[in-house]
């Protein structure tokens, strides 16, 4: 198997450029399309992700949402507050463990799911991508992500030489 390390310096830096840039660009392009599609719902892309988790798995503590989205409280706390202000969720201190805060869908939050079904349809119509392509893309992304996550855990391979 050919790895990056075996390439000459020129190509090395160039390919790295292309890959990290194209991923960066793809994420932002997706964000842009979702931003437009989500305008009707008055949700940002990360807020939509949080709502998807709640719609799919029901009421759950902040901790759990963070695990599913791989986001920490520094990101989630203000985000969930905004969703609460918008009337889509309530946040309640858990009774059995007062450190924990349970996030619950309100009527309005649950009802929004109906209108949210329109979003993937719009994305699909806009891009015209095939399910097979998207599934393949997803598989590849997940492979890369788990490789990167594993690497991040073992920092020695990154910092040291």
Contact flag: residue 46 with DNA (CB under 7 A)? yes
Q: Shortest distance, CB of residue 95 to its own copies, whole angstroms?
A: 30
Q: Which helix (H) or strand (E) holds 39?
A: none
How far is Cα 9 from Cα 144, in angstroms, rounded to an integer?
Answer: 23
Given candidates 37, 76, 89, 116, which one binds DNA under the rule CB under 7 A? 76
The Cα–Cα gap between 119 and 117 comes to 5
x/- contact string, 5-44, with DNA (CB under 7 A)? -------------------x---x--xx--x--------x
Site string for its own copies, 52-91 (x = CB under 8 A): x--xx------------xx---------------------
104 φ, ψ (degrees, to nearest 5): -120, 140
Residue 61 gets the label, from left (phi > 0), alpha (psi -120 to 50) or beta, of beta
Stretch that binds DNA, among 15-23, 66-74, 108-116, 124-132 (CB under 7 A): 66-74
Residue with structure tokens 């986001």? Answer: 71
Rg (CA), the chain: 20
Residues that bind DNA (CB under 7 A): 24, 28, 31-32, 35, 44-47, 61-63, 66, 70-82, 91, 96-101
């Amino acid at each position: 198997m050919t790895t990056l390390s075996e390439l000459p310096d020129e190509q090395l830096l160039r390919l790295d450029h292309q890959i990290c840039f194209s991923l960066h660009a793809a994420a932002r392009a997706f964000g842009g399309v979702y931003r437009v599609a989500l305008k009707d719902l008055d949700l940002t892309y990360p807020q939509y992700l949080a709502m998807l988790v709640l719609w799919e798995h029901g009421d759950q503590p902040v901790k759990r949402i963070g695990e599913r989205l791989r986001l920490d409280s520094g990101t989630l706390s203000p985000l969930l507050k905004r969703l609460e202000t918008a009337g889509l969720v309530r946040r309640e201190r858990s009774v059995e463990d007062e450190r924990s805060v349970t996030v619950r869908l309100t009527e309005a939050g649950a009802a929004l799911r109906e209108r949210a079904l329109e979003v993937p349809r719009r994305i699909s119509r806009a891009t015209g991508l095939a399910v097979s392509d998207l599934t393949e893309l997803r598989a590849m992304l997940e492979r890369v992500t788990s490789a990167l996550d594993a690497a991040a855990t073992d920092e020695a391979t990154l910092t040291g030489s």
